[in-house]
Amino acid sequence: MLRLGRREFDAHEPVIMAIVNRTPDSFYDRGATFRDEPALSRVEQAVAEGAAIIDIGGVKAGPGEEVSAEEEARRTVGFVAEVRRRHPDVVISVDTWRHDVGAAVCEAGADVLNDAWGGVDPKLAEVAARCGAGLVCTHAGGAEPRTRPHRVAYDDVMADILRVTLALAERAVGLGVRRDGIMIDPGHDFGKNTRHSLEATRRLGEMTETGWPVLVSLSNKDFVGETLDKPVKERVLGTLATTAVSAWLGAQVYRVHEVAETKQVLDMVASIAGHRPPAVARRGLA
């Protein structure tokens, strides 16, 4: 059972986390949801299409103009409060590695802290514990925030993913974060080259077998682009193929840009796996 905010999710229930970037320089939408009204419209659409979690980010993952903690908070805190006001039951996640930003967004109504940089600020897990928030524990290969991998190497990438994410999860429990509010994330692209991310996907079952809910953030990422030699706007099919494989291997939470398409993929895989009945079943019955 995964418990986030006011929601509880069964072990085989796929959960969609919709991305809402409060940045002017996102690699994907180039600032389309930087202003409040487009961002709030994006939230409305994502919830209508089946997203249970809204993941709000105030700093893009890649290199770029420096964003202070104060500016990151300015982009996210008030927006979190407004989303909470409009959607009392939606799970609100904030993508941040900074503990002071984490504390501010939790006070504004956030339910989850999505630590995509693998515990680089150890106080963030302390904030999650103190605020009763959920926590995403990610493998980033020891990379500093907003840096790209350079000549990164692992003897065994999945062994390193397991070592890091399980240690982060157990530390969080020790600090007082609820066990049923913790997710582990292999961190596709973060501190990894394309072959590492492909292997992490291929061996994702090793993560799901640990019993921790697994979150995957696959949407339009560079490993998809390099694998298929496609630019950002032509990576949807590759992303959805990777989503289907991840779902079959037991991932539970999917951080995405395309909510409706992802939901269809997850529903189809769940039905093939026997966890979801068909929406209708008329063929051969008359």
| Active centre residues (catalytic) | 221, 255
Give the 3-state secondary structure percentages of the chain, helix then strand then coil, rounded to 5.
45, 15, 40
Contacts of 39-43 with CB under 8 Å at 24 or more apart are 39/79, 40/82, 40/83, 40/86, 42/18, 43/18, 43/83, 43/86, 43/87, 43/90
Residue whose pair of structure tokens reads 């339009």 in the numeric block? 220
> What is each CA distance from 134 to 94, 102, 177, in whole angstroms?
10, 11, 7
Other CB atoms within a 10 A radius of the CB of residue 251 amount to 26
